[in-house]
Amino acid sequence: MLSAKTLVACVAIVGNVFDTAGAAPFVPQSPNEIVVELTPPTGSEWDEIHLLRAELAAEPSASAIAARLAHSYLELFRVEGDPRLIGYAAAALSQWTLDGTAPPAVALELIAIEQLEHRFDTAMRALEDFLARHASDAQAWLMRASISLARGQYPESTSACTRLVFTAGAETAGACLAAVQAVTGQARQAREFLAAAFARGDYAADAAFESWVRTLAAETAVALALPSDADVEFRTALSAARRDGGRPTLYLVSAYADFLLDSGRNADVLTFLTDAPPSDATLLRAATARKRLGLVVDDEIRTLSQHLELTLSGYEQTHAREAAYFLLRVLDAPTDALALAARNFAMQREPLDARLVLEAAVAICDGAAALPVLDWMQINAVEHATLVRLRDSLRDCR
């Protein structure tokens, strides 16, 4: 729950949901008045979705089609960030459950939905179950590695990456291990490994995968405080994603926007994001940049408050990272941000999650609340430059 002060600030701009609900219902002037403009579901991704949807309608129990349809929705979600796409995917798979009876392709998509909805425990249990029966499924091992990594369970992540050597090949396994190294005190080794791999021309075959590995290289450069290298890697990642008519993932877009914000390139953030699909993640970065440029952000606050409402009012944790980011950087409410960021950090532990805790803690000089992050940094020898700098500024706040 939010503190009274933030609530007051929030309500002043947004109005209480239930008060605004029903407080200002309106009737449009004319039947021709456009009340909602939808983004047309067009483009190659949607063409495929429409096709699969028609196929599934003709044969509703065809698990392979349902799995492909769900997969297409989730792929599109990773690019556009429209949370309804996860819901559409789940709806397409509604006749199957994660009780071990679903066909493998369906089960993997169901697990991906659990992961995207941040139900990590369910996802991990289901993966364990799945891998007990399909030990050579590379996709499942990769998901296991990435969930473990996101939760800060590095030994588990490392062992899952190792399994990829046999199932997906050395290139994939190497990138997977580099991702773990990058956050556990071995960023330099990770960087060297990636540089050598790029020099050999590894990863170039698959644009989407190359983009992912280049993003990792950029983040590793950020961790090592090499901003110009990071910029190059981010750009390479973006152009790799756009090769073959693809689009960058929202993860990459957000990471690059955060990088630009850290570099003080606020105007560049806005330019960069005008091309990005509208999503909460991009809106958060744009609002931060606008705020830092001294521009009005009332519209953004109104929209984000509504989108993050369930998290801000304590009903769910799924978007705790975004909500903490919003409170800290857009609403200037570090106390509430700290509480939410700390709860989020208990759930997921990527560098940004740790950073939100530290930044909020520094803002109100509350070292105690940041202890879980400080412990995590020490245990895992985290050397991320930004995190180290924030930790140092907290030194006098214990």
Q: Which residues make up the interface to other proteins (CB under 8 A)?
A: 14, 17-18, 20-22, 24-28, 30-40, 42-43, 80-84, 86-88, 90-91, 94, 117, 273-275, 277-280, 282-283, 286-287, 290, 299-300, 302-307, 309-310, 313, 315-316
Closest contact distance (angstroms) between CB of 273 and other proteins is 7
Closest contact distance (angstroms) between CB of 259 and other proteins is 19
Q: Which residue, 40 or 201, is less far from other proteins as judged by CB?
A: 40
Closest contact distance (angstroms) between CB of 287 and other proteins is 8
Q: Which residue, 26 or 205, is less far from other proteins as judged by CB?
A: 26
For 397, which DSSP code? Answer: G
Q: Which residue, 101 or 315, is less far from other proteins as judged by CB?
A: 315
Q: Which residue, 174 or 248, is less far from other proteins as judged by CB?
A: 248
CA distance 47 to 70: 14
3-state secondary structure 307-347: HCHHHHCCCCCCCHHHHHHHHHHHCCCHHHHHHHHHHHHHH
Q: Which residue, 86 or 352, is less far from other proteins as judged by CB?
A: 86
Buried b or exposed e, range 327-355, using 16+ CB within 10 angstroms: bbbbbebbbbbbbbbbbbbebbbebbbbb
Closest contact distance (angstroms) between CB of 344 and other proteins is 17
Are the beta carbons of 288 and 268 closer than 8 angstroms?
Answer: no
Phi, psi of 172 (to 5 degrees): -65, -45
Are the beta carbons of 250 and 78 closer than 8 angstroms?
Answer: yes
CA distance 224 to 194: 14
Closest contact distance (angstroms) between CB of 83 and other proteins is 4
Q: Which residue, 20 or 189, is less far from other proteins as judged by CB?
A: 20
Buried b or exposed e, range 282-299, using 16+ CB within 10 angstroms: bbbbbbbbbbeeeeebee
Closest listed residue to residue 307, CA positions, set 76, 5, 81, 120: 81
Phi, psi of 109 (to 5 degrees): -70, -40
Are the beta carbons of 228 and 258 closer than 8 angstroms?
Answer: no
Closest contact distance (angstroms) between CB of 112 and other proteins is 13
Q: Which residue, 87 or 367, is less far from other proteins as judged by CB?
A: 87
CA distance 181 to 345: 19
CA distance 37 to 270: 23
Closest contact distance (angstroms) between CB of 37 and other proteins is 5
Q: Which residue, 35 or 205, is less far from other proteins as judged by CB?
A: 35
Helix H or strand E segment including 248: none
Closest contact distance (angstroms) between CB of 295 and other proteins is 8
